[in-house]
Amino acid sequence: MIRYLYADQLNQHPKLRDSMFRDRADQFKTRLGWDVDIDENGFERDQYDALNPLYVIWENADGTHGGSMRFLPTTGRTMINEHFTDILGGGTITSPLIWECTRFCLSRGAESKVAAALMLAGGEIMQNFEVAHFAGVFDARMVRIYRLIGSSPEVLGSMGEGRDKISVGLWEFTPDAQAKVAAKAGLSLELSRLWFNRAFGTTSEQTLAQAG
């Protein structure tokens, strides 16, 4: 199932939290060889995890992490604006309608549907939080994955060649893309919306909460 958790909620799910940060270490340090820091617990965390981002996490039946993404609004600090502006020719991405998506991670042996389920959950965020686009940095290996899922970005800029190529892209989520991604994930749109509503409440519940 999909869980939507802010960083300050992760301690309520220690098994899920710990396995997510360990899977990030395994993917980004061990498998990809990125220059990332690993702490004494074997966790991969960076400065953006301290900004109370929203995580979308696929939780396996045993309560462990199967895959995840991290989201921050571009009106605040983001990885793109602080580290990758050279790809954009010196420009930045700052808009209340655009959120940054980073740390797309899949555990070893994750089923192919997990990546699509994460993308479907990203679409729920767009639709319910009135976000028009996600922005993100991705490497060459992800191009094939995005194509298979049915959610390829608009490329804003790239640098490097071959396997070392890094790009900045923008994702939108049309109804047609939503249907394709849901089919890849093997999930109904009703179940996807149920998981979102369990985390944030329905629109009517949110309105009542704000009024109260």
Q: How confident is the model at residue 207 (pLDDT cuts 50, 70, 90)?
A: very low
List C-alpha distances in Å: 105 to 2, 90, 96, 155. Answer: 14, 28, 25, 20
pLDDT digits (tens, 9 = 90+) for 128-175: 999 999 999 998 888 888 888 777 889 999 999 988 899 999 999 888
Domain ranges of the chain: 2-199
Q: How confident is the model at residue 103 (pLDDT cuts 50, 70, 90)?
A: very high
What's the CA gap between 85 and 61, in Å, rounded?
40
What pLDDT, on the 0 to 100 scale, is given for residue 151? 78
What pLDDT, on the 0 to 100 scale, is given for residue 141? 82
Q: Please give the CATH number for the structural domain made up of 2-199.
A: 3.40.630.30
pLDDT digits (tens, 9 = 90+) for 64-82: 999 999 999 999 999 999 9
At residue 210, does pLDDT exceed 70? no
